[in-house]
Structure 1
Amino acid sequence: MSLLITTCVLFVGSHLLLSHPLRDPLAGRLGPRGFQIVYSVVAFATLAMVVQAWRGMPPEPPLWAVDDPLWALASLLVLFASILFMGSLIGNPALPAPGAAFAAQKAPRGVFAITRHPMMWGFALWALAHALVMPTPGQLVLSATIAFLALVGSAGQDVKKARLMGDAWRHWAARTSFIPFARQVAGVTPWGDAIPRGHALAGGFVLWLAATWAHGALGFMAAGIWRWIG
């Protein structure tokens, strides 16, 4: 457990440092391409350390019973996370794309009407689902690490994007919410705006089916609908 916690801290800490305070100084010295190489090497190396530490955990008893209703809830969370993720790949101002400022001028629709960080919330919900159905101390540490990095990273991204994009991002942030469905609950944005677009629904459903099938095919616990039809 100590090794898992240590590697998780290294993974999160290095990611946040390279994404924010160290990004500009290192990019200035190494150049954009050199920085991306360093960033990628550190990210993959620390992630590999986390995975190895997690795999080396001894068998642990679950902290609560996991039944079919909990599996169904987790499966729905992963489906929603997959829809958020696929919807985030097109027209996302948060991505480092040349057309980010132009995308920020559009009216938030679909997953972006749900949250301005659909990709990161997708990762956080994926982590929550795994914690629900695999409630061991090791899995809870791993899930908490992924969710923390996704959500704290999103908050940091708001600050960085406001600095890089200026009014374009601030205008986008003013018309979107960080917390999913916060604007709909507050009555500011119609619920109809938050209906995911076709590519998000279709792509998310296919990703969910494929990922949950692979979960069992790779030797892990059967997940999704494959728990009941496999």
Structure 2
Amino acid sequence: MQPMSLLITTCVLFVGSHLALSHPLRPGLASRLGERGFQIVYSIIAIATFIMLVQAWRGMPPEPPIWAVGDILWILASIIVLFASVLFMGSLIGNPALAAPGAAAAAQGAPRGVFAITRHPMMWGFALWAVAHVMVVPTPAQIILSGTIVFLALFGSAGQDSKKARLMGDAWRHWAARTSFFPFARQIGGATPWGDTIPRPHALFGGIVLWLVATWGHGALGYMVAGIWRWVG
């Protein structure tokens, strides 16, 4: 199989397995395996297909960039990844979208920080991370890989809205009514003050640390030097 065909195949397998296990296959498997058993199977398949995808991407031959990449694009991409890191770290605490025992209770609170920005901060973090990579690595292979991540993150978030409404009922519907799918949509529409979007300390400082470590590791592992490390050191 040609490298590009293999990449596309693994992308389809990665997305297809996630969507199938998250929706049509989940009830039957969960009833047979139990919730814990299902989560184990889900995790194994997710990790295996992700490894296959990464290996296919790494096996791509060198490709010329579609557009020139200079400091301006690197600065924009670095800011986007920093924002994505803050969204991700903020999503780890008090997130009703996560499969946690306290999800319904968390949905009763007032949306603050990253949740005032979007009710799916983790998924938007992944999507923005992928967009930033296309900005500075504009090759066909990177576009396909990043497009796969963006599609899975945002389509999966939309599906999660439906699933959570079914599982949590009024608790989720009340949360969804006070939050937005798209980042800053409520602030732009005037429904929520901009001050509510100020990230909480664990999101802000955790996001900065994650961004610094991840971008440093990018160069340390032999990939392109990223973030502030392109201009520092």
Q: In the alignment, which of 105, 109, 112 is matched to residue 108 of structure 2?
A: 105
State the match for 2:98 in structure 1: 95
Higher deviation after alignment, 47-56 or 62-71 = 47-56
- Answering whether residue 22 of structure 2 is matched by residue 8 of structure 1, we say no
- Answering whether residue 198 of structure 2 is matched by residue 195 of structure 1, we say yes
The residue matched to 2:231 in structure 1 has which SS? Answer: helix
User: Following TM superposition, where does structure 1 have runs of at least 4 consecutive aligned residues deviating by more than 6 angstroms?
Assistant: none
- Answering whether residue 51 of structure 2 is matched by residue 42 of structure 1, we say no
After superposition, residues 108-187 of structure 1 pair within 5 angstroms as 108-187=111-190
- Answering whether residue 29 of structure 2 is matched by residue 26 of structure 1, we say yes
- Answering whether residue 86 of structure 2 is matched by residue 79 of structure 1, we say no
Q: Deviations over 1:11-33 (max 9, x none)?
A: 00000100111101111111122
State the match for 1:213 in structure 2: 216
Gaps of 5+ in 1: none
Q: Distance in 1 between matches of 2:16 and 2:201?
A: 37
Q: TM-score, normalised by structure 2?
A: 0.98
Higher deviation after alignment, 192-201 or 68-77 = 192-201
- Amino acid in structure 1 at the alignment position of 2:69: V
Gaps of 5+ in 2: none
Q: Distance in 1 between matches of 2:89 and 2:203?
A: 5
Q: Deviations over 1:104-146 (max 9, x none)?
A: 0001011000000000000000000000000000000000001
Q: Distance in 1 between matches of 2:108 and 2:40?
A: 32
Q: CA deviation at 1:88?
A: 0.6
The residue matched to 2:73 in structure 1 has which SS? Answer: helix
Superposed CA RMSD: 0.6
Q: CA deviation at 1:38?
A: 1.4
Identical aligned residues as a percent: 80
Q: Distance in 1 between matches of 2:107 and 2:220?
A: 40
State the match for 1:57 in structure 2: 60
Q: Distance in 1 between matches of 2:30 and 2:112?
A: 34
Q: Deviations over 1:60-99 (max 9, x none)?
A: 0000000000000000000000000011111100011111
What is the total number of aligned residue pairs between the two structures?
230
Q: Deviations over 1:30-67 (max 9, x none)?
A: 11222122111211111111011101100000000000
